[in-house]
Amino acid sequence: MIISFVQTKGGTGKSTLALSTAFSNHMNSAFGSVALVELDPQGTLRNWWNERTELGRDTGRVSFHHISSSQKEVFADGIKAIATHNDLIVMDIPGESTGKLHTRFACAVSDLVIIPMRTSTNDEAAFADNLYPIIKEILKVDPGKKGCFYVLPSFTHPKANRDTIMGYFTDILPPHVGCLRTIYPDRSVYENFNREGATLADYAYSVRENKRHSKQALSAAGDVEEIARAITQMLEKEHVSAKKEEATLRG
């Protein structure tokens, strides 16, 4: 299984979501091995991983892979090789203002594409102008990928009314792009938990004596677990749909 966090604009939380999802308790219970893959040439996650391994922090069932190339064949071969040794691949895709080669690749090969997106007209316009045309191209070539694209409402207020948020996206999203029934809240802890290669769990343990910081960290960890569960539910849904379609085609 391959899931990708995709958004053509930067600063949407893709890297944080990718690493946190890969290290979530839910994903590590549901899958025997998880590969966290970064296609971003800047290497934000690579630097984080190097810090983690240098400090001897436990990596559990998660392995890390950084593929920096402008050639589709290079990262296509890399993902194929990684897939032979892992049950789940979580990909972090860079924001791309031009070309969008990595974005196109991720949309084409992923079982599920997660699109972090705020409830704002700027994000709506960026999606419509830059990402949705790519999705339409993919669906034209491979109609079987309908139902593989989901927006994750991001940077929302933790106490925001979820029905209101879902209603916003239901109204503005085009056909074949759904919305996860969960949110990625705006929490300050996401900005500082990953120093020295720490995960949310590591950070929560380190601040366990500080009641306020501990509460924030545990809330963030809960956010990620909920997102991970929502993602696996969509993966299961698409798997069932694919099986039904296959059975229908057979007769």
CATH number at residue 191: 3.40.50.300
What is the pLDDT, as a whole number, of residue 52?
Answer: 96
Cα–Cα dist 148/162, whole Å: 22
User: Which of 99-103, 105-109, 225-229, 230-234 is least confident?
Assistant: 99-103
Cα–Cα dist 84/251, whole Å: 31
Over residues 199-220, the pLDDT tens digits come to 999 999 999 999 999 999 999 9
Over residues 20-38, the pLDDT tens digits come to 999 999 999 999 999 999 9
Which of these, 133, 84, 135, lies nearest to 112 by C-alpha position?
A: 135
Query: Could you list the residue range(s) of the whole structural domain that residue 190 is in?
Result: 2-250
Q: How many domains are there within the chain?
A: 1
Over residues 173-189, the pLDDT tens digits come to 998 999 998 999 999 99
Average pLDDT over residues 233-243: 69
Asked if the model's pLDDT at residue 10 lies above 80, the reply is no
Instruction: Confirm if 128 and 177 have CB atoms less than 8 A apart.
Output: no
What is the pLDDT, as a whole number, of residue 248?
Answer: 44
